[in-house]
């Protein structure tokens, strides 16, 4: 008996979709951060939409809301593990287009912030993440953070209201 282990066309399309979103999201994050570093003055941040959005350039050694500023290397190790898990474990198993999008968004966000940790000052595994989008009464964030948040919203939506799990099949069948 011969077992066909080659992925089907649908699987290849879903893999391609997830990885393409990851790569394009990383490029968008890099371009936005490059523009922020080039054009924004941290001492004179522009206010947009009547002050609802402020483009406040900061370099964040910590995690969300600047937590863990003294644990940059630990955060970098967690980001490396998250990148490997999403890109090497989750995405190759995706069987649904919605989950491919969500996992692609997650890969883009993790990769964008990991790239800062690896390649920005003060050095590898200690690099500070470039943040520049500020909303009233909220943390300053970047495009990578937006991808991570969008992935979280989609994943929560699929788990709560979706009819399909990340590897295909009904969520009702998983109980």
> Which residues sit opposite 134 in a β-bridge?
54, 140
At 162 the pLDDT is 80
pLDDT of residue 5 exceeding 80: no
Can 145 be counted among the known catalytic residues?
yes
Residue with tokens 């709560």: 160
Q: What is the DSSP letter of 140?
A: E
- pTM for the model stands at 0.88
Average pLDDT over residues 8-19: 93
Catalytic residue, chosen from 29, 41, 145, 173, is 145
Nearest residue to 65 via CA among 155, 153, 135, 154: 135
At 7 the pLDDT is 56
At 170 the pLDDT is 62
At 172 the pLDDT is 53
Kindly state the tokens that stand for 149. 């948040």
Q: Work out the pLDDT band at 175, boundaries 50, 70, 90.
A: very low
Catalytic residue, chosen from 29, 41, 116, 131, is 131
At 151 the pLDDT is 98
Can 41 be counted among the known catalytic residues?
no
DSSP-derived 3-state class of residue 48:
strand
Residue range 55-108, pLDDT digits in tens: 999 999 988 767 778 889 999 999 999 999 999 999 999 999 999 999 999 999
At 9 the pLDDT is 85
Residue range 115-152, pLDDT digits in tens: 999 999 999 999 999 999 999 999 999 999 999 999 99
pLDDT of residue 166 exceeding 80: no
Neighbours of 72 (CB within 10 A): 21
d(C-alpha 139, C-alpha 37), whole Å: 18
| Helix, strand, coil fractions of the chain, as percent rounded to 5 | 60, 10, 30
């Amino acid at each position: 008996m011969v077992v066909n282990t080659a992925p089907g066309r649908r699987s290849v399309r879903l893999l391609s979709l997830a990885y393409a979103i990851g790569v394009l999201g990383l490029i968008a994050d890099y371009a936005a951060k490059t523009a922020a570093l080039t054009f924004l003055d941290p001492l004179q941040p522009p206010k947009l939409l009547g002050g609802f959005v402020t483009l406040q350039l900061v370099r964040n050694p910590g995690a969300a809301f600047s937590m863990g500023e003294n644990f940059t290397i630990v955060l970098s190790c967690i980001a490396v593990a998250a990148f490997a898990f999403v890109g090497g474990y989750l995405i190759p198993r995706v069987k649904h287009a919605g989950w491919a999008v969500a996992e692609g968004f997650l890969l883009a966000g993790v990769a964008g912030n990991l790239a800062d940790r690896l390649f920005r000052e003060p050095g590898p595994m200690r690099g500070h993440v470039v943040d520049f989008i500020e909303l009233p009464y909220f943390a300053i964030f970047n495009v990578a953070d937006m991808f991570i948040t969008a992935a979280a919203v989609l994943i929560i939506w699929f788990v709560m209201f979706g009819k399909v799990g990340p590897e295909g099949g009904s969520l009702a069948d998983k109980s």
